[in-house]
Amino acid sequence: MSAPACETPRIVFYRVSVEFDTAHGPLRVVEDVSFSVRDREFVAIIGPSGCGKTTMMNIVAGFVQPTGGSVTLDGRPVGGPGPERGVIFQEYGVFPWLTVEQNIAFGLNLAANRLPAAEKAQIVQRYMGLMGLGDFAKAYPKHLSGGMRQRLAIARAYAVKPQFLLMDEPFGALDAQTRSNMQDLLLEVLAAEGKTVMLITHSVEEAIYLSSKIIVVTARPSRIREVIDVPFAYPRDEGLHERAEFGELRSHIRDLVMKEYAAQQRQTARNLE
């Protein structure tokens, strides 16, 4: 995950703006955002809720077109969604009509990722094991806990071997313990098969613990407030939370985020008047 700085960036945002048409006229959610993500870098984007972070991820995923500027993937403008970009949605989106193993196999059965049956079964087994879902192969999602659904969503995204992983508040709905386990599991899996990651989060601690670079964005419209390189080497473990540098970084970022959060609150209050 620690790539040399000279490498060509894989995701490039260049002066990106996004405006949505709403009933009250155009709403600018992203303004003049430029940054880049190198190969195997883990970038966290943090900022107040409703500021446009998810929109930034949706551009890379191929669901939203920027209204200004450009976003390129390996030098080419982003087209529609594709299997080389795995997306973990906030609401998981596990398919309720498929069992755990069918969910993981979903992507492998599509024409875009066709594989020999034996290899397919092997991949399904591998991710089911890795995510601790082996005992639930034939279970429908309605029988799974929130944490298990989340692991299922990750397993399904991983199975098609995406080079990019885009995650929108993936652990937001989980309890503290499950959340911490899921973070460690994610780091483990990433260490085993490097990917370029973009993570949208609210949690300062999560951003520091997981990522190699943190982008703090402002209240709506999102602009870049500060880009912070996280100085800790991988592999990381829970002990990191106790380090003095972790605490300093946390209070610095928390300060920035709180200011933006307050600005967003004022904005919302104004809009309600």
Partner 1 sequence: MRRTALILAPWVLMVMIWYAVALSGLVNASLMPTPHQVAARFWELANGGRLPRDIWMSTQRVFLGVALGIALAVPVGFLLGWYQGLRSFVDPVINFFRALPPIALIPLVVVYFGIGEPAKVIILFYASFFAGVIVMYEGIAQISPIFVRVARTLGASDLEIFRKVIVPLTVPHILTALRVALGVAWATLVASELIAAQQGLGALIQNAGSFFQLDIIYVGIICIGFIALSMDLALRAASRRLVAWQDRIGS
**Chain residues in the site for partner 1 (CB under 8 A):** 61-63, 80-83, 85-87, 89, 91, 93, 95-98, 106-107, 109-113, 140-142, 156-157, 160
How near is the Cβ of 83 to partner 1 at its closest, in Å?
A: 3
How near is the Cβ of 97 to partner 1 at its closest, in Å?
A: 4
Residue placing its CB nearer to partner 1 in the complex, 4 or 79: 79
Residue placing its CB nearer to partner 1 in the complex, 81 or 231: 81
Beta strands in 49-122 (DSSP E): 68-73, 76-77, 85-88
Residue placing its CB nearer to partner 1 in the complex, 106 or 232: 106
How near is the Cβ of 42 to partner 1 at its closest, in Å?
A: 19
Residue placing its CB nearer to partner 1 in the complex, 87 or 253: 87
Cα distance between the two ends of the chain: 47
Residue placing its CB nearer to partner 1 in the complex, 106 or 261: 106
How near is the Cβ of 61 to partner 1 at its closest, in Å?
A: 6
Q: Give CA 80 to chain center in angstroms.
A: 18
How near is the Cβ of 112 to partner 1 at its closest, in Å?
A: 3
Query: Which ranges constitute the DSSP H helices of 21-80?
Result: 53-61
Q: With contact defined as beta carbons under 8 Å apart, do 222 and 56 qualify?
A: yes
Residue placing its CB nearer to partner 1 in the complex, 13 or 164: 164
How near is the Cβ of 130 to partner 1 at its closest, in Å?
A: 18
Rounded Cα gap, residues 152 and 268, in angstroms: 35
Rounded Cα gap, residues 85 and 173, in angstroms: 23
How near is the Cβ of 62 to partner 1 at its closest, in Å?
A: 8
Query: Which ranges constitute the DSSP H helices of 62-175?
Result: 100-105, 117-130, 146-159
Give, in degrees to the nearest 5, the angle at Cα 136 between 133 and 137: 90
How near is the Cβ of 161 to partner 1 at its closest, in Å?
A: 11
Residue placing its CB nearer to partner 1 in the complex, 91 or 238: 91
Rounded Cα gap, residues 218 and 146, in angstroms: 30
Q: DSSP label at 242?
A: G
Query: Which ranges constitute the DSSP H helices of the chain?
Result: 53-61, 100-105, 117-130, 146-159, 176-192, 204-210, 244-272
Residue placing its CB nearer to partner 1 in the complex, 77 or 81: 81
Q: With contact defined as beta carbons under 8 Å apart, do 200 and 89 qualify?
A: no
Q: Is 43 helix (H, G, I), strand (E, B) or coil?
A: strand
